[in-house]
Amino acid sequence: MSVKKSLIRFGLFAALSILATVVVVSTLINPVSGSSSQYRAVFVNASGLVTGSDVQIAGVRVGRVDSVELVNNQAVVGFELESAQRIPSDGRAVVRYADLLGARTISIEPGQAEHATGNYLSPGATIPVEQTQPAIDLTDILGGFRPLFDALDPAEVNELAAQVVQVFQGQGSTIESLLERTVAVTENLTSRDAILDQLLNNLDRVLTVTTTNR
């Protein structure tokens, strides 16, 4: 009886292991639904992008990264895109943070409206480095807010950190709204003035760094 129970337990363990493996592999492969077209984009820095990273348009997943290679000291990223999606000839490929853990995505964005040509890249085309942008330095930016984070509880830190990332990636919130939120969460802090002074000094440095890197 004990042998039979052991075999049953082993069988259940093996089945669960296989199921877990299938789920993990499917997650890593992360295929694009339907037919797709291949493109490439050249970045000065593609840190954080890996095979399987999402490619998005307007925040919706429409593709995945297939390869990341170093060519002539530049990162050449190959990716596939749903065939129904098209990239404007003056479109931009921007690396953005997918979450606070460091995962990245590529966001395909339209070019400047005044320069729009109405033309689109053909499948197999390459987005030149002049039309790409690497990810912001999240460590440097969040480090600038360290004096404030140290004085807040974890829930407030997570909420504020998410807003900080959105602001510096140009998604949704503005610098003004971020400052308003910062002032609000410091209302009850005893060292409020000192924290705000240090934060403003750090923010000035962070803005300088992110501006020169864009």
| DSSP state letters, 38-100 | EEEEEES--TT--TT-EEEETTEEEEEEEEEEEETTEEEEEEEEETT---BTT-EEEEEESST
Q: Are residues 118 and 143 in the same domain?
A: no
Q: Please give the tally of structural domains in the chain.
A: 3
Range of lowest pLDDT (71-75, 137-141, 157-161): 137-141
For 200, residues 6+ apart whose C-beta sits below 8 A from its C-beta are none
Q: Are residues 110 and 176 in the same domain?
A: no
Range of lowest pLDDT (32-41, 58-67, 103-112, 153-162): 153-162
pLDDT value for 42: 97
Q: Are residues 118 and 148 in the same domain?
A: no
Distance CA 56, CA 82 (A): 10
Q: Are residues 147 and 172 in the same domain?
A: yes
- What percentage of residues in the chain have a pLDDT greater than 70? 64
pLDDT value for 36: 92
Average pLDDT, whole number, for the chain?
A: 76
Strand blocks (E) in the chain: 36-43, 54-57, 60-71, 74-82, 92-97, 104-109, 126-127, 132-133
Q: Are residues 41 and 67 in the same domain?
A: yes
Range of lowest pLDDT (32-41, 49-58, 171-180): 171-180
Q: Are residues 6 and 94 in the same domain?
A: no
**Domain around 154:** 138-212
Please check whether residue 14 is in contact with residue 64, taking contact to mean a CB–CB distance below 8 angstroms: no
Q: What would you report as the CA-atom Rg of the chain, rounded to the nearest whole angstrom?
A: 22
Q: Are residues 129 and 40 in the same domain?
A: yes
Q: Is 0.85 surpassed by the pTM of this model?
A: no
> Alpha carbon of 161 to those of 1, 168, 188: distances in Å?
56, 11, 19
Report the CATH number that the domain containing residue 67 is assigned in CATH: 2.40.30
Average of pLDDT values for 43-65?
A: 93
Q: Are residues 102 and 190 in the same domain?
A: no
Q: Is 154 a residue whose pLDDT tops 70?
A: yes
Distance CA 133, CA 91 (A): 11
pLDDT value for 173: 62
